[in-house]
Structure 1
Amino acid sequence: MSGFVEKPEPVQVPGLTHLHTGKVRDLYRNEAGDLVMVASDRMSAYDWVLPTEIPDKGRVLTQLSLWWFDQLADLVPNHVLSTELPAGAPEEWAGRTTICRSLRMVPVECVARGYLTGSGLVEYNASRTVCGLGLPEGLVDGSELPGPIFTPATKAAVGDHDENVSYEEVARQVGAETAAQLRRTPSGGEGGAGAQGR
């Protein structure tokens, strides 16, 4: 079993409807129909959200995401409309809030891997593959790969594990055209999941 050690109560803000409490972010909808994402200071490990927080983690995550969205703006559009604090929101939301277009999420974690480590290393040690892609013998933790590879994973709900999957499994789940677009497009950002449509 996994999930929250102690699930936080959502902050009630006039004009915002609470939709979801995730491992790190809380999601609301405003009266215009846009999404309001608030990055918390929560910390998770092995699919448990722990009671100990890291001060300002949410602000750092939000600023990192915004920096990457800016860096990739000429390659792929993003969902961010504003970083203004919604009227009536608590001051502690400053610097950790993004107002976003509502998109349909593609439930795939899109990872471009240039080095071997983490779950990729575990799979490699068992089968000399990562997400079904064969790799050369003799690689160790931190080895640079011959070239970047697309190593997708499922996008799990709170309490469930993200699991590495093959490209073929992604194509089966979301369709060949969408899978091809995910593989060739720099994806990720907040939460790491690709999105499409409105």
Structure 2
Amino acid sequence: MVNTYFREVSDMADDQDKLAQEWADALIETGDAEGGMDPDDPLGGLEDVGDPSEAGSADLGQDDEALADEWAAALAETEQDELKHEKEQEFLSTQTHDYDLPDMGAEAKSGGSGGKRDLDFILDIPLEVSAELGRTKLLINELLQLGQGSVVELNKLAGEPLEIYVNGKLVARGEAVVINEKFGIRLTDIISPIERVKQLG
């Protein structure tokens, strides 16, 4: 296996030698075609060409400078953005205010003073109260035929209580009485809040 390795290395060296010889022959032929090679200038003017490593280093130096300039510009822009953000935060911090809000939890739990609702602000609201003896439905023809002495049959039976409405909502029942030569109603039944809620629906 070692012999095979050395043989391959030897073949590669031979190939390199052949390639170098071909390049030399090509250069000689080119020189002959252009008027021959100058024995005083065996390099054919190639000595004026600078060191390739120096040329490459010059290009690399220019690339490094350009890259450094780009980094500097990016850093400056980042610093400006940070300064702008800090100024905005300072401005916003001066615009905020602390408010002292009263604790409403204890008052809400207690339900106000003495645990009773304060209803004084609605006590002066006027309401329309009406007492209804009964109802019926008439056609326009029947309504036009009414006159003095006509009798209108209601949907209530004799002895049934009258109904008391407040703003059109049934709230109580009672019986008719006469007080100082005026009709009045003695309440016999108050509609429960649950029934009132059902009537609202």
Relative to the length of structure 1, the TM-score reads: 0.17
Larger RCO (CA within 8 A; separation ≥ 6): 1
| Larger strand percent | 1
Larger Rg: 2
Structure number with the higher helix fraction is 2
